């Protein structure tokens, strides 16, 4: 069964008197364990699409089944719970909370989940260990390099055991070498931790890590192809 | 629902980062809370002092004294011509139903000697009822008796200061002192009362029977007159009727015409206390309004800075929402932050207020009284202000759309 299934999704924005169609009836199915690159020029609708499957935004019409449940009519506060339990976010600008240590940033999803403090710390330490940041737990975001910050963000995305990771241009602010290192983590998350990953990018070399490439243009999907992923980013450098 | 401790920790982060801003924001609350403390400390201190003064003066007390007299158009000072007599006192006792106790009173400063010790003090001639009127107690020995009055006994009750000056450590009871050369036997020692509100030593005097005083001690050109008549009304309700009855009676006895000024004066001490209490009330009201205004201004300041904080941290709010914060979680976080801000202000204000009250006590020689009630009140008020004025910014934060908030730079 599909983990993410969108059917005929339409999203419009009103600017003055004009109605702008960001998504013109998009349908897509992502199965558990997939690693999908979402590509397209800016304004193609890929970010709007990501916001909708990230439960941050609601479509004007259409259905969205996440883990078998239609969440189009779900209330906002319930969506917070869905995001917390099912989705992990990684953003282009890292989006760590400043003046808050790496450990506390990783603990955050569990705070909103009501997990007791002791277990929270243990799990956050474990997640930081997975992304190779043991010893940096108490560093503030501004004491970490871009790659390290993104790894903290990845740790935050996986700490709540969410089955889906949504990454919005995770390498956009990183240099090539660091980008490949970060992509290695995504590959590991997909292969070893069996996470389903949807990753927005407009760089072909980043997309080449993924198993499937979906291309957006003018609010529609114009291409949906399987890809034979390259193995291990570090070898590509 | 997220646990309180985590929210609390999150709220402290931004306050710690913007230390200076936080303290400046709290300033209004600091001033307000300290004004609350000082207001209550001064107000309660004053009323405690008034009550104490009242207790040492005796309650429901009326003091009748000679008024000024006019002689050939010249108004003389009060008591120039003593107009009150022992007979007036007897008449009041007989004819005024609202009067509980009555004691005529005359006094004069005299030299008192015992052996080779001598001391100048005030000699008060009065009757046994005086003790009841002033609510005074005999520590050692006995009070005057009505026999002492009628027999003109040469007996004396002495105050603590007099006892110390004349006898030192000796037991004064039964010893004979000479007052203006006349020997008196000490029969009682008064309980110590310390200083009164004017700083006058209330233990530095001797009480003797008024009849003995008039005959042997006081030199007066007007035989049978007394300086003062002290009256205790039956109870607090009858004090005003007692005042009326006495005025009526004395007018008749002294044959005062309708257009003539009274040659006596009735002073109602309860009334004086009421006036003093009202003054204190006015002062408390003034401090209270200062407290109210600064708490209000402080509250607006908190609201202002919280709105700034919400705007500054729009992105943070977006991140929190994206990873699972409900709008209620955001609201509570900002609410706790403003509550904390005002509560810290309240605590600093409490310290400032207590310090201020102590300074007033030290330099203004006023009695202050800091009650736990005033501490709870000022802290409670500042906390309340934080919640009331913090609610709107917190509500505004909770309404943010996560997508817009995430995009905010």
- Looking at residue A237, its pLDDT comes to 36
Within-domain flag for B297: yes
- Looking at residue A38, its pLDDT comes to 95
Domain residues for the domain of B240 are 82-262
- Looking at residue A40, its pLDDT comes to 92
The dihedral formed by the CA atoms of B284, B290, B295 and B301, expressed in degrees to the nearest 10: -170
CB A112 to CB B3 under 8 A?
no
Q: Which of B262, B287, B308 is the last residue of a domain?
A: B262
Q: Per 3-state DSSP, what percentage of chain B is helix, strand, and coil (rounded to 5)?
A: 55, 20, 25
pLDDT at A236 over 80: no
Phi, psi (rounded to 5 degrees) for B205? -165, 170
In B200-268, which ranges are continuous DSSP H helix?
Answer: 210-212, 239-253
Q: Residue A47: which of A227, A156, A208, A198 has the closest Cα?
A: A198
Using 70 as the pLDDT threshold, list the residues of chain B that sit under it: 1-2, 55-58, 68-81, 196-199, 221
- Encoded tokens for A168: 């919005």
Q: Range with the lowest mean pLDDT among A83-97, A175-189, B32-46, B316-330? A: B32-46
Q: Are residues B101 and B208 in the same domain?
A: yes
Within-domain flag for B314: yes
Tell me the chain A residues in contact with residue B3 when contact means C-beta distances shorter than 8 Å.
111, 114, 116-117
Angle between helices A117-130 and A146-158 (to 10 degrees): 130
Within-domain flag for B391: yes
CB A56 to CB B322 under 8 A?
yes
Q: Residue A134: which of A150, A119, A117, A151 has the closest Cα?
A: A151
Within-domain flag for B64: no
What's the rounded Cα separation, in Å, for the pair A92 and A37? 15
pLDDT mean over A106-119? 91
What's the rounded Cα separation, in Å, for the pair A167 and A5? 18
At A55-78, the pLDDT tens digits run: 999 999 999 999 988 998 888 889
Share of chain A above pLDDT 70, in %: 97
Tell me the chain A residues in contact with residue B325 when contact means C-beta distances shorter than 8 Å.
80, 112
Q: Would you kindly state where each structural domain of chain A is located, as residue ranges? A: 29-44+79-236
Q: Are residues B283 and B342 in the same domain?
A: yes
Phi, psi (rounded to 5 degrees) for B229? -120, 120
Q: Are residues B176 and B218 in the same domain?
A: yes
- Looking at residue B272, its pLDDT comes to 75
Sign (positive/negative) of CA torsion B336, B339, B345, B348? negative
pLDDT at A46 over 70: yes
- Mean pLDDT, all residues of chain A: 90
- Looking at residue B367, its pLDDT comes to 81
- C-beta of residue B360 within 8 angstroms of C-beta of residue B40: no
pTM: 0.72
Q: Which 3-state string (H, E, C) describes B26-93?
A: HHHHHHHHHHHHHHHHHHHHHHHHHHHHHHHHCCCEEEEEECCCEECCEECCCCCCCCCEHHHHHHHH
CB A51 to CB B403 under 8 A?
yes
What's the rounded Cα separation, in Å, for the pair A165 and A130? 15
CB neighbourhood size of B294 (10 A): 22
* Beta pairing, strands A164-168 & A2-15: unpaired
Q: Are residues B108 and B247 in the same domain?
A: yes
pLDDT mean over A120-134? 93
What's the rounded Cα separation, in Å, for the pair B253 and A27? 114
Within-domain flag for B59: no
pLDDT mean over A3-20? 91
> What does each C-alpha distance from A229 to A187, A191, A226 come to in angstroms?
9, 12, 9
Q: Are residues B235 and B369 in the same domain?
A: no
Q: Are residues B173 and B209 in the same domain?
A: yes
- Looking at residue A84, its pLDDT comes to 93
Q: Which of B193, B228, B262 is the last residue of a domain?
A: B262
What's the rounded Cα separation, in Å, for the pair B282 and B305? 35
Q: Are residues B142 and B240 in the same domain?
A: yes
Nearest Cα residue in chain B from A85: B324
Within-domain flag for B70: no
- Interface probe for B, chosen from A108, A149, A153 (most Cβ of B below 10 Å), is A108
Q: Which of B200, B228, B262 is the last residue of a domain?
A: B262
CB B323 to CB A112 under 8 A?
yes
Q: Are residues B356 and B319 in the same domain?
A: yes
pLDDT mean over A25-31? 94
- Looking at residue A234, its pLDDT comes to 47
More confident residue, B3 or A163: A163
What's the rounded Cα separation, in Å, for the pair A172 and A198? 15
Task: Enumerate chain B positions whose Cβ falls within 8 A of a Cβ in A.
Answer: 1-3, 5-6, 10, 13-14, 17, 315-316, 318-329, 402-403, 406
Within-domain flag for B223: yes
Confidence of residue A235 (pLDDT cuts 50, 70, 90): very low
pLDDT mean over A134-141? 93
Structural domains counted in chain B: 2
Q: Are residues B279 and B255 in the same domain?
A: no
Classified as helix, coil or strand, B21 is helix
What's the rounded Cα separation, in Å, for the pair A22 and B386? 43
Q: Are residues B144 and B293 in the same domain?
A: no
- Looking at residue B2, its pLDDT comes to 65
Domain A29-44+79-236 superfamily per CATH: P-loop containing nucleotide triphosphate hydrolases (3.40.50.300)
CB neighbourhood size of B289 (10 A): 12
């Amino acid at each position: 069964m599909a983990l993410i299934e969108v059917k005929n999704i339409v999203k419009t924005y009103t600017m003055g008197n004009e109605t702008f169609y960001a998504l013109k009836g998009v349908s897509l199915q992502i199965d558990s364990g997939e690693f999908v690159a979402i590509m397209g020029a800016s304004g193609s609708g890929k970010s709007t699409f990501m916001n909708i499957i990230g439960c941050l935004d609601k479509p004007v019409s259409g259905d969205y089944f996440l883990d078998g449940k239609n969440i189009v009519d779900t209330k906002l506060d319930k969506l917070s719970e869905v995001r917390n339990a099912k989705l992990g976010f990684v953003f282009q600008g890292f989006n760590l909370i400043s003046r808050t240590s790496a450990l506390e940033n990783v603990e955050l999803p569990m705070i909103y989940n009501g997990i007791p403090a002791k277990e929270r710390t243990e799990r956050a330490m474990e997640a930081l260990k997975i992304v190779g940041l043991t010893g940096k737990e108490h560093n503030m975001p501004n004491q970490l390099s871009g790659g390290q910050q993104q790894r903290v963000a990845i740790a935050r995305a996986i700490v709540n055991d969410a089955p889906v990771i949504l990454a919005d241009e995770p390498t956009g602010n990183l240099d090539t070498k660091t980008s490949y290192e970060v992509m290695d983590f995504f590959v590991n998350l997909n292969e070893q931790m069996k996470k389903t990953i949807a990753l927005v990018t407009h760089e072909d070399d980043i997309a080449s890590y993924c198993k499937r490439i979906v291309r957006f243009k003018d609010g529609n999907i114009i291409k949906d192809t399987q890809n034979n992923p390259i193995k291990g980013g570090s070898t590509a450098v | 629902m997220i646990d309180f401790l985590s929210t609390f920790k999150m709220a402290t982060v931004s306050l710690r980062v913007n230390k200076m801003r936080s303290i400046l924001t709290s300033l209004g609350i600091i001033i307000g809370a300290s004004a609350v403390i000082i207001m209550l400390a001064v107000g309660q201190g004053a009323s405690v002092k008034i009550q104490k003064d009242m207790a040492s003066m005796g309650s429901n007390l009326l003091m009748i004294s000679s008024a000024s007299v006019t002689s050939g158009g010249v108004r003389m000072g009060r008591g120039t011509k003593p107009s009150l007599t022992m007979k007036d006192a007897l008449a009041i006792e007989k004819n005024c139903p609202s009067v509980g106790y009555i004691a005529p009173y005359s006094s004069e400063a005299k030299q008192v000697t015992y052996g080779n010790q001598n001391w100048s003090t005030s000699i008060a001639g009065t009757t046994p009822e005086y003790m009841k009127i002033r609510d005074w107690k005999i520590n050692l020995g006995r009070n005057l008796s009505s026999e002492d009055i009628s027999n003109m006994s040469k007996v004396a009750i002495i105050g603590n200061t007099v006892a110390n000056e004349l006898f030192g450590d000796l037991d004064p009871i039964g010893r004979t002192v000479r007052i203006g050369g006349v020997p008196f036997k000490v029969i009682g020692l008064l309980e110590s009362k310390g200083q009164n509100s004017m700083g006058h030593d209330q233990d530095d005097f001797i009480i003797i029977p008024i009849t003995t005083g008039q005959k042997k001690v006081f030199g007066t050109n007007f035989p049978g007159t007394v300086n003062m008549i002290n009256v205790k009304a039956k109870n607090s309700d009858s004090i005003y009727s007692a005042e009326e009855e006495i005025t009526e009676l004395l007018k008749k006895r002294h044959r005062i015409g309708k257009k003539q000024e009274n040659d006596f004066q009735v002073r109602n001490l309860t009334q004086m206390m009421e006036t003093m209490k009202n003054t204190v009330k006015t002062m408390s009201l003034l401090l209270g309004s200062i407290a109210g205004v600064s708490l209000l201004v402080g509250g607006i300041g908190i609201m202002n800075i919280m709105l700034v904080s919400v705007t500054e941290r729009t992105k943070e709010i977006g991140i929190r929402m994206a990873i699972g914060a409900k709008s209620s979680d955001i609201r509570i976080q900002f609410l706790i932050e403003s509550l904390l801000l005002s509560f810290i202000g309240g605590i600093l204000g409490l310290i400032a207020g207590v310090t201020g009250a102590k300074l007033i006590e030290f330099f203004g020689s006023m009695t202050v009284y800091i009650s736990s009630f005033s501490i709870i009140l000022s802290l409670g008020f500042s906390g309340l202000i934080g919640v009331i004025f913090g609610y709107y910014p917190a509500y505004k934060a909770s309404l943010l759309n996560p997508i817009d908030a995430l995009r905010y730079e």
